[in-house]
Amino acid sequence: MDINNDHRFAINLNVRGIQPSATLRINELSNQLRAEGRDIIKLGLGQSPFPVPERVVAALQENAHQKDYLPVKGLKGLRESISGYINRTERMRCSWEDVLIGPGSKELLFILQLAYYGDLLIPRPSWVSYAPQARIIGRSVHWLPTHAENNWQLTAEELDIICRDDPSRPRILILNYPSNPTGCTYTDDQLLAIANVARKYRLILLSDEIYGEVQFDGKHKSIARYYPEGTIISTGMSKWLGAGGWRLGTFIFPKELRPLQDAMAIIASETYTATSAPIQYAGITAFNGGDDIDHYLEQSRRVLKVIGEYMHRRLTAMDVKVQKPEGAFYLFPDFSAYKDDFDRHDIKTSAAFCQNLLEDTGIAILPASDFGFAPDQLSARLAFVDFDGTAALALADSNYADQELDDSFIDQAGPRLKLAMDKLEAWLKSL
């Protein structure tokens, strides 16, 4: 029965025409193909390959008995540890009352758009769920142009152009860096320039810094330093702590946006009620940090940096245009040099390219069309995460403790990533 066309069920479905999350879809497809016996190299879902630090796991185990409903905005002890973390890492002065906890930053972004009526400004390319969330809620989405020559980064000039015709219009700008899908980040000067435009138009700026701790040089800075009164910092434990499935995210608000925080808490109270109690207690240990967690992060960055540089080098040698990653675990390669070869095989879109690549080689990546581009943009996102993170950290910490990680490390720690590049190169040559 089609409830859209049956007069007895005349319902306007907000999700009509929206597909399931692209990253979750490719992960489920990869798992299904593996279950059928295919050797699939999973470069689709951006899940951290690293284990949750042992002390944080122990904290979760010790608090498994916690069963009470916690405050909607989150456990006070966790909110205190997060404000302390932000103050340490960003040299800011926020209090525990500025912090809102949710079951993943994804859910918090959704209720932000429910609580604040404004257009959503998204630089292209962007993470796969920003725009679909806005469509579900009924918000207008404006894609901001970026260019490969500028590492796909938003410029202050492009932001000003979109805002100047209606300067008082309510808007939310999402800035995600290091970027999913490109792995690139912003300089201080770029952040300052964007902050000045955001202040000029009184934008609400959601700074998605979920990958901040895995910026390779360890020098991530929040744009909240330059636009504190209008910036909400978004982070969590999924990407830098390996705890994606734990589902804990956090927004840190300036005091000027306390009414918005309160409005989001009202929505939370009527939807998810509170975030899992044991995970919130464990989160205190994570955000309080310590020498062991600092060491874990240092080694994680070393591993991701050498793998990212290796993948970049291999792709470049294949005549694939790609920006060198500066953080996270993503690359956004452009395969347009192979357009004529693709045309001969009736490959006209990035989705068709990824589908053919998966069928022929077992390499799972995501098409550019999932990240805000037109179907004929022959780019894709590659998440270099199909390796044993536990073994890689141990190897980096022992055999390579006093030396640079190199290709011999890749051979030992990332054989499936090396295999992926070998298969991709052979496939491209065969076209």
Q: pLDDT tens for residues 252-265? A: 999 999 999 999 99
The answer, yes or no, to whether residue 11 has pLDDT greater than 80, is no
Q: Are residues 309 and 392 in the same domain?
A: yes
pLDDT value of position 6: 53
Q: Are residues 238 and 333 in the same domain?
A: no
pLDDT value of position 353: 94
Tell me how far apart the terminal alpha carbons of the chain are, to the nearest angstrom. Answer: 44
The whole-angstrom separation of Cα 394 and Cα 50 is 11
pLDDT value of position 13: 54
Name 417's bridge partners.
none
pLDDT value of position 22: 55
Query: What average pLDDT does this structure show over 1-29?
Result: 56
The whole domain housing 74 covers 55-289
Measured from the Cβ of residue 82, the count of other Cβ atoms closer than 10 Å reads: 28
- Is 123:154 a contact under the CB 8 Å cutoff? yes
The whole-angstrom separation of Cα 301 and Cα 166 is 42
The answer, yes or no, to whether residue 384 has pLDDT greater than 50, is yes
Q: Are residues 403 and 342 in the same domain?
A: yes
The whole-angstrom separation of Cα 298 and Cα 283 is 20
Domain harbouring 348, CATH code: 3.90.1150.10
Query: What average pLDDT does this structure show over 31-54?
Result: 89
Choose the final residue of a domain: 258, 289, 320.
289
Residue 44 vs residue 412, higher pLDDT: 412
pLDDT tens per residue across span 95-135:
999 999 999 999 999 999 999 989 999 999 998 888 888 88
What pTM was estimated for this model as a whole? 0.92
Query: What average pLDDT does this structure show over 22-51?
Result: 82
pLDDT value of position 15: 52
The answer, yes or no, to whether residue 25 has pLDDT greater than 80, is no
Q: Are residues 393 and 348 in the same domain?
A: yes
The answer, yes or no, to whether residue 422 has pLDDT greater than 90, is yes
Q: Are residues 145 and 227 in the same domain?
A: yes
Q: What angle do CA 215, 181, 196 make, to 5 degrees?
A: 70
Residue 425, classified by CB atoms within 10 Å of its CB into exposed (0-12), middle (13-18) or buried (19+), is middle
The whole-angstrom separation of Cα 265 and Cα 79 is 14
Measured from the Cβ of residue 164, the count of other Cβ atoms closer than 10 Å reads: 11
Q: Is residue 2 part of a domain?
A: no
pLDDT tens per residue across span 165-181:
999 999 999 999 999 99
Length of the chain: 431
Choose the final residue of a domain: 289, 313, 341.
289
Name which of 55, 48, 45, 9 is nearest 25 in CA terms: 45
Q: Is residue 229 part of a domain?
A: yes
- Is 309:406 a contact under the CB 8 Å cutoff? no
Q: Is residue 13 part of a domain?
A: no
Three-class secondary structure of residue 183 per DSSP:
coil
Q: Are residues 298 and 344 in the same domain?
A: yes
The whole-angstrom separation of Cα 182 and Cα 321 is 12
> With bands split at pLDDT 50, 70 and 90, how would you rate the model's confidence at 4?
low
Query: What average pLDDT does this structure show over 319-343?
Result: 97
Measured from the Cβ of residue 297, the count of other Cβ atoms closer than 10 Å reads: 18
Query: What average pLDDT does this structure show over 14-19?
Result: 56
Q: Is residue 372 part of a domain?
A: yes
Q: How far lies 8's CA from each of 11, 15, 133, 390, in Å? A: 9, 19, 28, 55
Residue 401 vs residue 9, higher pLDDT: 401
Q: Is residue 337 part of a domain?
A: yes
Across all residues in the chain, what is the average pLDDT?
Answer: 93
Q: Is residue 5 part of a domain?
A: no
pLDDT value of position 164: 95
Q: Are residues 189 and 326 in the same domain?
A: no
> With bands split at pLDDT 50, 70 and 90, how would you rate the model's confidence at 9?
very low
pLDDT value of position 46: 86
Domain harbouring 115, CATH code: 3.40.640.10
Record the tokens describing residue 29, joined without a space: 């497809």
pLDDT value of position 229: 97
The whole-angstrom separation of Cα 237 and Cα 150 is 29
> With bands split at pLDDT 50, 70 and 90, how would you rate the model's confidence at 17?
low
pLDDT tens per residue across span 168-226:
999 999 999 999 999 999 999 999 999 999 999 999 999 999 999 999 999 999 999 99
Chain position carrying tokens 């009527």? 270
pLDDT value of position 207: 97
Q: How many domains does the chain have?
A: 2
Q: Is residue 8 part of a domain?
A: no
Q: Are residues 325 and 406 in the same domain?
A: yes
> With bands split at pLDDT 50, 70 and 90, how would you rate the model's confidence at 10?
very low
Choose the final residue of a domain: 289, 308, 343.
289
The whole-angstrom separation of Cα 252 and Cα 95 is 9
Q: Strand (E) positions, 167-320? A: 171-176, 204-208, 231-236, 249-252
Chain position carrying tokens 């500066």? 326
Residue 36 vs residue 18, higher pLDDT: 36
Q: Are residues 69 and 44 in the same domain?
A: no
Q: Are residues 79 and 32 in the same domain?
A: no
The whole-angstrom separation of Cα 242 and Cα 285 is 14
Query: What average pLDDT does this structure show over 421-430?
Result: 97
The whole-angstrom separation of Cα 415 and Cα 41 is 11
DSSP string, 47-81: ---SPPPHHHHHHHHHTTT--SPPPTT--HHHHHH
Name 175's bridge partners.
207
Q: Are residues 224 and 352 in the same domain?
A: no
Q: Are residues 309 and 399 in the same domain?
A: yes
Q: Is residue 209 part of a domain?
A: yes
The whole-angstrom separation of Cα 174 and Cα 134 is 12
Chain position carrying tokens 């404004």? 118
